[in-house]
Every structure is written in structure tokens, then in C-alpha cells.
Structure 1
Amino acid sequence: MKILAAVRQGALPAAILLLVVLMVVPIPAFMLDVFFIMNITISLAVLMVALNAEKPLDFSSFPTVLLFATLFRLGLNVASTRIVLVHGHTGSAAAGHVIEAFGSFVIGGDYVVGLFVFAIIVIINLIVVTKGAGRVSEVSARFTLDALPGKQMAIDADLNAGLITPDEAKKRRVDVATEAEFYGSMDGSSKFVKGDAVAGLLILAANIVGGLILGPVSHGLTIAKAAQTYTMLAIGDALVAQVPALLLSIAAAAIVTRVKSEKDLAGQIGSQFGSARTWTPVAVILTLLGVLPGMPHFVILPLAAAAGFAAWKLHQIAKRPVPVPPAAPVEAPDPSKIGWDEVSETMMVNLDIGYGLVPLVDERRGAPLMGRITGVRRQLSKELGFVVPQVRVRDDINLPPYIYRVMLGGVCIGEDQVSPDEMLALDTGQAFGELIGKKAKDPTFGLDATWIATGDADVATGQGYLVVDSGTVIATHLNHALGANAGDLLGADEVQSLLDELKERAPHLVAALAPLPLTALATVLRGLLSEGIQLREFRRIAAAIANAAQRTLDPLEIIELIRPDLGALIIAKLAGVREPLRVMTLEGGLEQLLGQAARNEPGRHVIEPELGRRIVDALQAAAQPLIAEAKPFALVVQPAIRVAIRKLIRTVLPDTPVMSFFEVPEDKAVEVVAIIGGHAQQQALAA
């Protein structure tokens, strides 16, 4: 096997070297005969492969094969021209028996006939076959490239719907890309065939002119003898080259005009012509032509009889019952056995929809929801820093018709109702006037909204409403739900993928993370995601984790140790470079009280329920104006109570980051917008 592999690898360089030898080094006439027969053999083999291919990509190497076959034939033309001009005066066998056979037997020894035969072959090759194949290649390449984005979106839609596996999607993407490259290459390689035909004309003219000059001048031949001898050899040489060129042109045309089928070309044509309805009219018409006076009856009537016999035979075959292979015995299911497919769920993220929402994922209607889900996954993956698992959409007969439900790991993280044939008009605070429709709440942001008819969308937009369709409502809710639960999307496999990608750029940094188990690293990263710290800057995060892992391997302690190093990442979403960071703080006495409680019961982070309720109420009251104006802010507290405060407010203010004093960079300007427990808040807490 190793020897065969070595021979296979060395065959192509050796073939290219042979082309150079043919063009530069004189070869004997015997070797020229061998190479001409080899050229014809290669052309026949290429034609047979092209005819037997079920689809064009089955012969994806054809453009390259066509290039080398053309170069090989041109190399033979150079070698044969050298022999014809040097030894042509010795007779018709001077350039080998193959050229002699084509010059005498094929064209009957008459070089005038040979010129016309060669001209007809060139016209067929250049004007008919090559030009048609080139045009088909050009159009196929253009349409294939134009359809490439749509095919990629279709693959993504099937992948999101769970119709295909990731491996199947990867294979289909490779096939689509290969198809585009193939037709692009065929568009260019068709120019090789056209140039080869033109080169054949020029080489023929060069041989004839050279012979007419060399014959009388160098070898003392008469003009008539030189014309007869050299023209015969030139035509034989040209025909030897044009026959393989015509075979390759036919192969190229057969490849580019193929339509994808499960059968090869012969089977495809045979199945489409193998019908009695095809041959019965042919037999009738030929019979009518055969009985007309003056027609060659002995030629037409036998063909009519053959067509009639074929029609009768095909009709008999069509009436035969189709043999049905015996069905394999199906074992009755054992009710006592339970399969893993009944209890396991292969997809992590699912979007369950009622039967009334099925049109949103119907491919015949464009499947608008599937494209939006793909966009959600792509955008979330860019924001979070890792590939979000695919979302499988499935209809659930147990759901009401217009209800959808977002499931993550078997847990519902979002549910609402949409109207697929209406539009949702959202009141973002700038709208005026009342709309006719069903009142609702936006499932993502809780805004007042109205379901309106599609025809009223322009009117609602003019009144300041934000109008979206039901697919956008679901996709936006899905995006928000997955973003809010980003920590649950990250598993050990995704963490390993992050490490593998980082290892290519920073192998020593990945090695520094080795003391920390993969599960502990995943816990740290999930903890960061749960507090809104994205993993796009994974290299910076990994460096901070590697430093913290030298002090402790406890994931919760590592999270608190690395947060000061990630402070700039946290506040990047809260304030611009020149914009001050808006913060809320706790009143000193209140913070001291909570800190003392945290020190008395380390690790528990317990806040007295009534005090906690009052802190939450005060925070909500202070945050409401900022939230209404869409101004981001952070709550900054002592490091000892940060985790406790975060747990306290995460249900009422989930998007508010809770930071310690050490996490705010020293060079960052800070604007204190509220002090919880001071003045009015202090009175509220004491009440």
C-alpha cells in the first residue's frame, strides 16, 4: 500500500515533467505513436467517466484533468511538428504509423479531402460543442453563485429545526461550496478547449507552410511533391490531435449539461425514453412516411416496424406487476421494554409552539421564524463569546394553538402568546392615539402593546408605535431569555472548545489553567455569565483565572478574586470612555451593619427578610427614573456584602450589576445618583 501511495503521489509530477520533455527533447517516431494512442485512451476514459457520473460533482476533478489532457495534446503537437518538419521528406511514415494511418486511411490519401474533413471537425468542436458547453458553464456558474446564500440559509434552517445533524449540515455546506467552485472552474476550463481548437488550426497552417518552405529549399523536393507530402502529414497530425480534443469537448458538454439524478446518463436517458407512449407515435408517423410514393420504403418501413415492436414490448413490460420484495418481519414492540429515546432529550434548547404557529416555520411560506432564530444564535454567540447551542423548533399538541414556550435544559424560561396573522404595535413612550385591536404586553420588555391587522401597520407607525411581526416577537423573546440564562448554555464541551481555540494563540496560558479542573473552570465561567460578564475577551479572563487559581481552586472564591481584574469589562456596557459611571451606594451605617452580619456568619450571606424588603423597595424607587430614561447604572458596595446584595436584588433588578469598590477602575469618573439608606431612604428603612 505504501508503494502504491508513493507511486500515486509521484505520478502527477512525472506527468508534468513528461510534458516539458515532449516540448523540448526530440523523441523517435515509435514513442510518438505510443503517446498518440495514450492520448486517445485518456480522452476515451475521461468521456466514459463523464457519461457514468450521476451528478457533476462525482467528477469534481474534471477541470484539472481537462487542463492536463489539453497540455499533453499540445505537447504532442510540438513533438510531432518537429518530426514532420525534420523528417517529412523521407515519406508518409516519417512521423510514425498513427499519423500515416490518419493521413492515408481516414482521409483516403487525398489531402484536399483531408483539409475539408479537418475543417468540419474543427467547426463541430469549436462552434457547436465547445461554444455551447462554455455558455452552459458560464450560466451555471453565475446561477450557482447567486443561489449560494439561499442554500446556506436553507441548511441553517434545517439545522435549527432539528431536521439534520451538525455533521450532516457540515457535509451539505461543503457540497454547496464545492459545487460553486466546480462550476466556476468549468467556466474557466472551457476556454482551454476553445484555445486548443484554435491552436490546432494554427499548428496545421504552420506545418503546411513550413513543409512548403523546407521541402524545396532543404531537401530538393518539387513544390507539388512537398505540398503532397507535408500537407498529408500535417493533416494526419491535426486529425490525430482533434479526435481526442473532440472527445474531451463532448465530455465537458456532458458534465455541464447534466441534471442531478440517482442514475448515470445512460440510465437517465433510458428511463425517460423507455415508454410506450414515446415510441407508438414514432411508429405510426414512420409508417405513414413509408407508404408515400417515392419514399425509400425498404429503409423507412423496417425502422417503423422496429419502433412499433419497441412500443409493444414496453407496453407489455409496463403491464407486468412490480415485484414487491418480502418485507422483513417486524417484531412486535415489547410493552415491558423502555428505550432511551423515550426518556432522553438530545437538544438543550427547544422552542415549543402550538399548532396555530406552525405556518411560521413552514418552508413553503419561507419559514420566517427559522431565519430569525439563526440570526439570534449568531448574534448571541458573538456577544457571549461561545457558540450558542442550536434551537430545535417542535410543535406541541398539548399547547394552545398560539402559545409558544422556550425550554432550556427541560425548564421553561419563557412563555407567551402571539397572533401569526397580525402585527404587534409597541408603545415605546412616544406613541399617541388609540389603536383598534387586542391589548397585550410585550413579552420581552413588558411594554404596552396592541395586536393590529397587517394593513394598519403604516398607520400605527405614523402614530409613533414600533410595529413588529409575530416571528420577530418570538425571536426577540428567545434572545432575551437565552441571554438572561447564558450561564446555563455553557457546558463542559463549550469550555473545552474555548480552551482549544485559545491554545492555538496562547498555549502557555492554557497550560497555566491545568491545575483547575474543567468542571471548576466551567463553574467559574457560568458564574461570570450569570452576572452579565461576557466571554468575548476570554484570553483576559483566562489570565485572571490562572492567577487566582494559584491561591485557591474554589470556583466561588475565584469569581470574587478575578472580578477586580475584569472591572473595565463590566463597566464597558454601562458608560462610555468619556462618560462618568452612574452608581448607587448604600449609606455607611447600613453598609457597616450588613458587613458585620456577613462577618458573623461567613459564607451564608444572610440578610434579615424585613430589612431586605426595605432595601429592595428603596433601590427600585431610586432606579425607576434611570430605567425610564434608559440610563445604565451599577450598585457599588463593600466586597464582603457584594454576593449577598446580588442575591437580594437579582429577581427585581436582574440587569443591574452589583460591583465592589475594588472593581471600579481608579481613573474612571463616578457619578453617585442615589445613596440607599441616606435621607429619605434612611427614613424608609427605619419605618
Structure 2
Amino acid sequence: MKRLSQLGVPIGIVMIIVMLVVPLPAAFLDFLLALNITAAVLVLMVAMFVKRPLDFTAFPAVLLVLTLFRLALNVSATRLVLLDGYAGKVIDTFGHFVVGGQLVVGIIIFVILLVIQFVVITNGAGRVAEVGARFTLDAMPGKQMAIDADLNSGLITEDQARQRRADVHAEADFYGSMDGASKFVKGDAIAAVVITLVNLIGGFAIGMAQKGMEFGEAAQTYSLLSIGDGLVSQIPALLLSVATGLIVTRGAGDADMGSDILRQIGANQMPLRIAAGAAFVMCLIPGLPKVPFLLVGGLMLLFSSRVPTEAPEPEVVAPVDELPPADTPERLVAEMQVDPLGLELSPDIIDLVDVRAGGDLLDRVKALRRKVATDVGIVVPPVRTRDNLELPPRTYAITLFGVEVARGEAPPASVMAIGDMLHNLPGTPTVEPVFGLQAKWIPAEMRYEAEISGATVVDRASVITTHLSEVVSANSARLLGREDVRMLTDVVKRTHPVVIEELTPAALSLGEVQRVLQALLEEKVPVRDLVRIFEALSLRAGTSKDLDALVESARQALGGAIVAPYLQNGDAHVISLDPQLEHRMLEVMRPTDAGAVLALDPELGQHVLVQLQRLSRQAEESDQRPILVCAPQIRAALSRMVRPTLDRLPVISYSEMLGSGQVLSLGTVQGLGANV
């Protein structure tokens, strides 16, 4: 069966080519004409029942094959008409019965069908296909960026993003093919006119010159056959033109076209009743027949009575007995609790969380929690989203343990355009909240113009989700509570019970494990590989419970996983310290309760930070990700010194760089008095 499906179409195309040169008997031509009309009806029905154009991506090729098939039938029919004066019962019936044997009537019907197909349907479908192809190709960059934004915010997975990108490319290819396929339909209509004229003129010449017919007899015989052939060809051609128009004007929906049309037209009672009233009013016009308008108005009124009216959604009220009285200790304690993570919205942007208004912010926040768990290795507490009447209009705020830590804007009916060429776009200038890029809030209807100008367009929900993701990433250590550590150890215990038995409570308490994990998170080190982290901690805790020592042992266990995110094509771009400066730092390192610190002279410390800022900026301008490397003994203290100023610069020890591929030097930080 598979082999037959692979060879069926190629063999059919070869047979169509053969039909152009090999005469066919009239009986076989009747069969092929019936097949042509039935195939056109089938294609039209498929076009009506698909839910979106991409469900019928083979349509351009089907259109080309059927057009070629119909032209081959025209050639075969013309050959029989001119040679024998007879081309089968199908053409004879269309020439005599369908048009009543009247030549003038047949010509008029043929011309009307040709005008409908060529002037109305074909031109309209061709224009829609051309515009659709242009808009689809122009919108591809914006769609790709939207997919990347959804992927980065955690709303979709890698597989879903890959499928969406494939759909975008398939859509562009489909509309490009449809733009070309519509030209086949137009060319077919022109060919039908030419073939019919050739049949008429050739029939007159053959009938009068070769067969000795009178002019009237030749005109009656060959003209009716030519018109019959034209009608037999134009009916399937018209069906395919209608199918082309349906495909290129079809929007994506959840049902077939018939269901969508009936549901959308009958979604409201009022338009149906007004139309029924208009039909009844037409009965008052003198001279018009009243029965048809009364019948149509009655059907409209009957149909409107069957349209269900939208009932208001019942308000969900919690049972009184489930809510403790307002003055009980339990209720007061519940109100006193502080949410670890919160998102507050001003009243005018509540539509972001209203599902009925198309808001999907809550779904994106849920997806963000999954993404953080996958990337970082911790379970972010639920984000409590609520409105705040005290916030200024179009403002949102992100809170951490009840304290506002970030704020931004999300104007209603707007999208954020990010780029350099924004001066021609109307809107309010702003700054992208995560990376500090110049941006502008523009009306949502200007999205396409912004994408054409080269700007990256991000919707409001993506802006808030990305901002929330940055806040969570920067405060992941604070969000990791004692209960979260207990939950993580319980999860590891199910698969590696020995590791947990050796670690806690025998070697370290949950509080000490929490401090180590928080220290790793503060330095942007994911804690997904808990098994190796816990194994390293249990070994190190036997000799020392110093925080820095425990953290360094965990980092050693993670190895290349710490360096991997900063590699570019397998290369590490590093900033190193002068050996004398490293020795000086080792001498001034002092232990504290929060870990070791560097007690450098203020002038020397400022000098080191200035050099690090300069080298980091140069690397970032060259699209490189710098890494500061140093001796393992001073790594933790140096990280505490650098982090407040250069939060994005990772501090990694020499031992952690082993096996990281090629190391490329970006520069060396010198001490005071050295040649920089």
C-alpha cells in the first residue's frame, strides 16, 4: 500500500502527459470527465473541513496536478470534436440538455461562469495569496522572537518551541506556494477561453470545408459541442477556484469552516432578529411578493430563538463554615503570614490575569516556576498575584517577603518595542527592566510596523515574566528556606538513601546544608546535582565545617558544570591576577562569621575593581563572556569583594578550570605601582 501511494501520483502525472498526444476513445473520456468533476468536489470539501490552512499543505501541488489534468482533457475533447464531431455523452449532454440546445444560452452561461471564476474568485484569491505570502514572510522574525521569548520565560518547552518554529517555516512555505499556485488558476481560465475559441473557429472550418455542411448546421453542431466542452471544464475549474479562495482566506480555528460560520453568525440573537425584522418590513413594499420574505423572516426568527443566551457566571462564594471568624487566632495568624514572593498589579492591568480577556500571566508564572526548578534546582514558592489600589496606573510591583524589590510598567493595549530605530514609532519611551535597553511602549496595533523596522517586540506578560525571572534568579538564595532543604533531601533520599544518611544529621545539620546551598546560589551556581554536592559535603564535613571549605568542596565536585555556561565555542575567556597581587590578597585574608574577606587597602581595592570593570567592559563589547580566575585559597573572599560591583562576573578557581578547553587571556589585573 505504501509503495502504491508513492508511485500513484508520479504514474498519474505521466499518464496526463500521454493524454496530450494520444487519442482517447469517447467512452473513456466520459469516465475521465466524471473523475475530474468528482475530484474537484472532493478538494472543495476538504478545503471546507480543514481547521487551518496548514492542515492542507499539499493543496498547491493538488491544484497544479488537477489543472494539468483538466487541460489534458480539453486537448482530448478538442481532438474528438474536430475529428469525429462527437466527444462522448458527458460533453453532448452539457451542450444539449444543460443549455437546452440553445447556442446563445450556452455561450452566455459559459461567459458568466468564466467571469465569476476569472474576475471575481481567481483575482481575489490570487490577491489574498500574494498579500498573505508577503505578510507571512515579513512577520517571520517577529514570530521567531515571540517563540524565543516564550521559551526563555518557561511558557513552552524546547520541543514545543521546535514545533512552533517548524510551523512558522511551513506557513511561510505554504503561502509562498499558494501565491504561485493562484497563477495556475488564472492561466487555466485564460486557456479555457482560447481553447473554446479555437474549437468554435476550427469546427466552423472543418464542418464547412471538409464535411460540406451549411453554415447553420456547422454552427449548431460544433458550437454546442465546444460550449459543452467549455462548461464541463469550467465547472471543476470554478470549484477549484472556490477551494483556493477558501484556503487562502481561512483563519486558524478549533472547528471546520461550516461549524465556525454557523457558530459565529448565530452567536448573538440580536443580529438575527434585526435581519428577521428587515425581511418583514420588506413585505410592506407594494408589488413585492410577501410569501418569500415572510418565510425567510420566520426562519431567521426561529433560528434566533434557538441561540442560547449567555448566562452570567455564578459567583463562587466560599462556605461560611470553612472560614474561621475574623477575630480567631487562626485567622489572625493566617493574615499575618508574609508571602515569600508576590506580584502586585494596578487595577487597570488586571486584564493580564483575566482568562476571559485573553490574559495568560498566571500560566506564564507557573511555567516560570517549572523553568527555575529545571535550571537552578530549587522549587520557587508560589507567586501570590493580587491587585494593589495604591500602585500608580499601569504599574506592577514584585515583592520579596512583603518588601517591594522591583517595579515596572505594563500599559494596557501596548507592547514593548526594543531597538535603536524607535523614533518613528508613536509611544512612551522606557527602559527594558532586566538589561536596561532603550525601549518604547507602543500601541498593540503598531506591532507589525515595529517588527518591520527591525525592533524586537515583546508583549506585556513576557515583560513581567522576564522581570520576575530576573528577580527570582538574583534572590534564589533568600528564597531557599529550611523546609525547601528538607524537601530536597527527602527527594534525594528516595534514590540515594546512603548519601543522606551520611550527611544529615550525622555530619551536618539542615541549617548548615542550607547555608552551603545558599552560598552556591548567591554565586549563580545551579544546585541541580544534589547527589554530588551532598557526597562532597559529607566527605569534607569529616575534617572541617567551615562554610567556605564546604562550599569549595561542593564546587570541586561540580567541576566543569560551573564553567560550562561561560564557555564560547569551547573557549574560556579569562581575566587573571598578577601573582604578587594574589600573594598580597592571601596575606590580608581575614575570617569572619559570614566567611573569609580581603582586608585590602581601600586604594588597592579600588584599583583592582577599576581594572576588572575595564577588562569586563572590553570583553562584553567584543561579545565575550569574561571569567575571573584565581587561586582556590582566595576564591571565596575575592568573590565577596567583586560581587557587589560586578555581579555578572564569575569568580572561578584554577582547579575548577581543568578540562574546560582552550583558555584565552583577556588581561591581567596588576597591583599598585605595576605597569597596567
Q: Report if TM-score (shorter chain) is over 0.5.
A: yes
**17, 25, 28: which one pairs with 1:28?**
25
Give the match for residue 251 of structure 1: 243
Work out the CA distance in 2 between the residues paired with 1:21 and 1:392: 69
Establish whether residue 646 from structure 1 lines up as the match of residue 635 from structure 2: yes
Output the CA distance in 2 between the equivalents of 1:588 and 1:311: 92
Q: In the alignment, which residue of structure 2 is the partner of 1:354?
A: 343
CA deviation profile, 1:228-255 (whole Å, cap 9, x unmatched): 4333322222211111101111222233
Structure 2 residue 277 is the aligned partner of structure 1 residue 281:
yes
Q: Which residue of 2 aligns with 1:68?
A: 65
The alpha-carbon deviation at position 277 of structure 1 amounts to 0.3
Does the Cα contact within 8 Å between 1:204 and 1:238 map onto a contact in 2?
yes
Residue 73 of structure 1: how far off its partner (Å): 0.7
Cα-to-partner distance string for 1:145-179 (whole Å, 9 max, x where unaligned): 45545555555555555555555555455444444
Say whether residues 1:632 and 2:615 are aligned partners: yes
State the distance in 1 between where 2:189 and 2:34 align. Answer: 19
Change (3 A) 1:171 1:393: farther
Deviation at 1:279, TM superposition (A): 4.9
Partner in structure 1 of residue 80 of structure 2: 83
Is 1:120 the equivalent of 2:112?
yes
Contact 1:50 1:254 in 2 (8 A): yes
Per the TM alignment, residue 314 of structure 1 is displaced from its structure 2 partner at its CA by: 3.6
Amino acid at match of 1:67: L
Q: Distance in 2 between matches of 1:320 and 1:669?
A: 70
1:507 paired residue number: none
What is the rounded CA distance, in whole Å, between the counterparts of 1:391 and 1:64 in structure 2? 51
8 Å contact from structure 1 (residues 156, 169) kept in 2:
yes
How has the CA–CA distance of structure 1 residues 613 and 231 changed in structure 2, closer, same or farther, with 3 Å as cutoff?
closer
Give the Å deviation of 1:51.
2.6
TM normalised by structure 1 equals: 0.58
Q: Which residue does 1:342 correspond to in 2?
A: none
Match of 2:94 among 96, 102, 105: 102
Does structure 1 conserve the Cα–Cα contact (< 8 Å) formed by 2:346 and 2:387? no
Structure 1 counterpart of 2:41: 44
What is the CA deviation profile of residues 273-320 of structure 1, one whole-angstrom value per residue up to 9, with x for unaligned ones? 55550453144224213xx2xx26xxx222133235325534654589
Q: State whether residues 615 and 666 of structure 2, in contact with CA within 8 Å, keep that contact through their aligned partners in structure 1.
A: no
Aligned CA distance change for structure 1 residues 209 and 585 (closer, same or farther; 3 Å)? farther
Q: Distance in 2 between matches of 1:418 and 1:106?
A: 77
1:15 aligns with 2:18: no
Q: Does 1:583 align with 2:578?
A: yes
Aligned equivalent of 2:290, options 301, 322, 328:
301
- Secondary structure (helix, strand or coil) at the match of 2:408 reads coil
Change (3 A) 1:583 1:360: farther
Q: Tell me: CA distance 1:356–1:625, structure 2 relative to 1, closer, same or farther (3 Å).
A: farther
Q: Work out the CA distance in 2 between the residues paired with 1:473 and 1:52.
A: 43
Amino acid aligned to 1:313: L
| Letter of the 1:305 counterpart | L
**Structure 2 residue corresponding to 1:396, chosen from 376, 379, 384:** 384
CA separation of 1:628 and 1:32: change in aligned 2, threshold 3 A:
same
Q: Which amino acid aligns with 2:615?
A: P
Aligned residue identity for 1:488: P
TM, length-normalised to structure 2: 0.58
Q: Distance in 2 between matches of 1:104 and 1:390?
A: 82
Q: Distance in 1 between matches of 2:78 and 2:303?
A: 54
1:188 aligns with 2:180: yes
1:287 counterpart letter in structure 2: C
Q: How far apart are the structure 2 equivalents of 1:636 and 1:254?
A: 64
> 2:526: which partner in 1?
488
Contact 1:636–1:660, Cα closer than 8 Å, also in 2: yes
- 1:570 maps to 573
Q: How many pairs does the alignment contain?
A: 495
Quick one: distance in 2 between partners of 1:314 and 1:355? 46
Percent same amino acid at aligned positions?
A: 34
Whole-Å separation in 2 of the counterparts to 1:669 and 1:56: 53
2: CA distance between counterparts of 1:652 and 1:491? 27
Q: For residues 224 and 386 of structure 2, what CA distance do their matches in structure 1 show?
A: 86
Gaps of 5+ in 1: 325-332, 334-350, 378-385, 407-411, 423-442, 448-468, 493-518, 541-568, 575-580, 595-606, 679-687
Give the conservation status (yes or no) of the 8 Å contact 1:111–1:232: yes
Q: Which amino acid aligns with 2:635?
A: R
* Mapped contact 2:345–2:387 kept (Cα < 8 A): no
Q: 2: CA distance between counterparts of 1:206 and 1:609?
A: 102
What's the offset of the Cα at 1:122?
0.8
Q: Contact 2:474/2:522 (CA < 8 Å) preserved in 1?
A: yes
Question: Which of residues 533, 550, 561 is equivalent to 1:526?
Answer: 561
**Aligned partners of 2:153 and 2:469 also within 8 Å:** no
Q: Distance in 2 between matches of 1:42 and 1:525?
A: 62
Tell me the CA shift for residue 223 of structure 1: 5.3
Q: Return the letter of the residue paired with 1:585.
A: Q
Match of 2:405 in 1: 417
* Structure 1 residues 160 and 221: alpha-carbon distance in aligned structure 2, compared to 1, 3 A threshold: same
Rounded to whole Å, the distance in 2 between the matches of 1:360 and 1:280 is 40
Q: Which moved more, 1:472-481 or 1:112-121?
A: 472-481
Please state if 1:537 is matched with 2:569: yes
Deviation at 1:484, TM superposition (A): 7.2
Closer, same or farther: CA 674–202 of 1 in aligned 2, 3 Å: same
- Alignment correspondent of 1:617: 599
Distance 1:31 1:651 in 2: 89
Partners in 2 of 1:70 and 1:201 — Cα distance?
15
| Alignment CA distance shift 1:474-1:164 (3 Å) | closer
Partners of 1:119 and 1:166 in 2: how far apart? 55
Question: Retained in 2: the 8 A contact 1:152–1:173?
Answer: yes
Larger Rg: 1
Following superposition, the deviation at residue 127 of structure 1 comes to: 0.8
**What letter matches 2:633 in structure 1?**
A
SS in 1 for 2:580: strand
Which deviates further from its counterpart, 5-14 or 258-267? Answer: 258-267
Q: Deviations over 1:73-107 (max 9, x none)?
A: 1121122223333x23xx3x2x2211111222223
Over aligned residues, Cα RMSD in angstroms? 5.5
> Post-superposition shift, 1:196?
0.7
What residue identity is the alignment partner of 2:566? Q
